[in-house]
Amino acid sequence: MSRAFTSEEYEQKEVPIVIPPKIEEAPDHDIVMKYSNGRSLEDPKLPYEIGMGFLKGEGEFFQSDEFAVKWLERAVKMGYAPAMVALAEFCLKDTKTYGFRRPARLLKQAADLGSDEAKAYIDMFSIDDPSTKKAYTAYRLNGELGDVSACLALAEGFEKGYYGKDKSRAAATWYIRAFKLGDEGAAKKALALHYKKKTELTEEELSLLKPGKSS
């Protein structure tokens, strides 16, 4: 049976010192702490400012899309409209990567919170020329939000060649989307593109647009 150590023996016994592994601080830690200068990160304006700092790479910030998105997302989750607009604009600069759905939702959310800047992006009533990039962006954003008139405007724009050549397939896609949203006339326009051999609809699409009939 083992005996207990005396206090003197215990003090002399070698007790290994366990040093916890060093936790690596995030690369943005020092910059954020310096810029914050005691301000609370619970104030959504601060993470927004930090995000914009990284986005532009100005002042003490280095340019980093990754950190910009990280901090803007934080402000967005806190319901800060300017961050929603900024993040939407970031996504719109590379729609091949981010698409239109996320920026559309961000702008709609910001507009609902009263952001005039967000409202300007999705305002279709002020469009004079449907062939412009601004018009396309507004239609596309609203189309992603389920606006039937925007879907029709996109389809007609593609069909007329406003948004590139040989876009009949895109036109049909948006006519079909408008039909799914309740516009009966859009089905005829999509079918017309098929029968005129400007594009080819799938059997599923034909069945949807004209039940019981095929090409």
* Mean pLDDT estimate for the chain: 90
| pLDDT of 26 | 73
14 falls within a domain: no
For residues 3 and 104, which has the higher predicted lDDT (pLDDT)? Answer: 104
The tens digit of pLDDT for each residue in 53-88 reads: 999 999 999 999 999 999 999 999 999 999 999 999
| pLDDT of 201 | 96
pLDDT band with cut points at 50, 70 and 90 for residue 17: low
CA distances for 112 relative to 52, 127, 140, angstroms: 22, 21, 18
As a whole number of angstroms, the distance between CA 38 and CA 3 comes to: 55
9 falls within a domain: no
166 and 117 share one domain: no
The tens digit of pLDDT for each residue in 120-142 reads: 999 999 999 999 999 999 999 99
Residue with tokens 């062939």: 131
118 and 128 share one domain: no
When divided into structural domains, the chain yields a total of: 2
Give the domain CATH number at 84. 1.25.40.10
87 and 129 share one domain: no
| pLDDT of 37 | 92
Domain hosting 195: range is: 124-215
109 falls within a domain: yes
82 and 111 share one domain: yes
Residues 6+ apart with CB under 8 A from 195: 215
Tell me what the mean pLDDT of segment 199-209 comes to.
96
| pLDDT of 27 | 82
Give the domain-ending residue among 106, 122, 138.
Answer: 122
> Angle CA(167)–CA(170)–CA(176) in degrees, nearest 5?
140
